[in-house]
Amino acid sequence: MVKFARCNALLSLAMDSSGKGCRYVAKAETEDDVVKDMSQHLQSVHQVDPGEMTANILATTKTTRG
Protein backbone atom coordinates (compact mmCIF):
# COMPACT_ATOMS: atom_id res chain seq x y z
CA MET A 1 0.00 0.00 0.00
CA VAL A 2 1.14 3.49 -0.81
CA LYS A 3 0.14 6.72 0.86
CA PHE A 4 -0.08 9.89 -1.14
CA ALA A 5 -1.06 13.53 -0.93
CA ARG A 6 -1.80 15.93 -3.75
CA CYS A 7 -0.32 19.39 -3.77
CA ASN A 8 -3.51 20.82 -5.26
CA ALA A 9 -5.51 19.53 -2.30
CA LEU A 10 -3.30 21.62 -0.03
CA LEU A 11 -2.83 24.77 -2.06
CA SER A 12 -5.89 25.24 -4.22
CA LEU A 13 -4.23 27.88 -6.37
CA ALA A 14 -0.82 26.29 -6.46
CA MET A 15 1.14 26.73 -9.66
CA ASP A 16 4.16 24.73 -10.63
CA SER A 17 7.42 26.29 -11.73
CA SER A 18 6.10 26.81 -15.27
CA GLY A 19 2.94 28.57 -14.08
CA LYS A 20 0.51 25.71 -14.60
CA GLY A 21 -1.69 24.17 -11.97
CA CYS A 22 0.52 22.07 -9.75
CA ARG A 23 -0.13 18.36 -10.11
CA TYR A 24 2.59 17.20 -7.79
CA VAL A 25 1.76 14.09 -5.79
CA ALA A 26 3.91 13.05 -2.85
CA LYS A 27 3.99 9.27 -2.47
CA ALA A 28 5.56 7.13 0.22
CA GLU A 29 4.97 4.06 2.32
CA THR A 30 4.41 6.00 5.53
CA GLU A 31 2.62 9.20 6.43
CA ASP A 32 5.86 10.58 7.82
CA ASP A 33 7.57 10.18 4.49
CA VAL A 34 4.64 11.72 2.62
CA VAL A 35 4.88 14.73 4.92
CA LYS A 36 8.63 14.93 4.35
CA ASP A 37 8.29 14.66 0.59
CA MET A 38 5.48 17.20 0.39
CA SER A 39 7.24 19.56 2.79
CA GLN A 40 10.29 19.66 0.54
CA HIS A 41 8.07 20.27 -2.47
CA LEU A 42 6.11 23.07 -0.79
CA GLN A 43 9.29 24.78 0.28
CA SER A 44 11.25 24.46 -2.94
CA VAL A 45 8.46 25.07 -5.46
CA HIS A 46 5.94 27.24 -3.63
CA GLN A 47 8.10 28.91 -0.97
CA VAL A 48 5.56 27.81 1.63
CA ASP A 49 6.70 27.16 5.19
CA PRO A 50 5.95 23.47 5.63
CA GLY A 51 5.96 23.77 9.40
CA GLU A 52 2.45 25.18 9.28
CA MET A 53 1.27 22.62 6.75
CA THR A 54 1.98 19.33 8.50
CA ALA A 55 -1.55 18.87 9.84
CA ASN A 56 -3.03 19.78 6.47
CA ILE A 57 -0.76 17.35 4.68
CA LEU A 58 -1.82 14.56 7.03
CA ALA A 59 -5.48 15.50 6.59
CA THR A 60 -5.24 15.13 2.81
CA THR A 61 -3.06 12.03 2.80
CA LYS A 62 -4.82 9.01 1.38
CA THR A 63 -3.89 5.39 1.05
CA THR A 64 -4.14 3.43 -2.17
CA ARG A 65 -5.67 -0.01 -2.07
CA GLY A 66 -3.73 -2.97 -3.34
Binding positions for Zn ion, rule: CB under 5 A:
7, 14, 22, 24
Least Cβ distance, residue 44 to Zn ion (angstroms): 9
Nearer to Zn ion among residue 1 and residue 13 (C-beta): 13
Nearer to Zn ion among residue 22 and residue 34 (C-beta): 22
> For the residues of 17-60, what is the DSSP string, one character each?
TTSSBP--EEEESSHHHHHHHHHHHHHHHH---GGGTHHHHHHH
Least Cβ distance, residue 38 to Zn ion (angstroms): 8
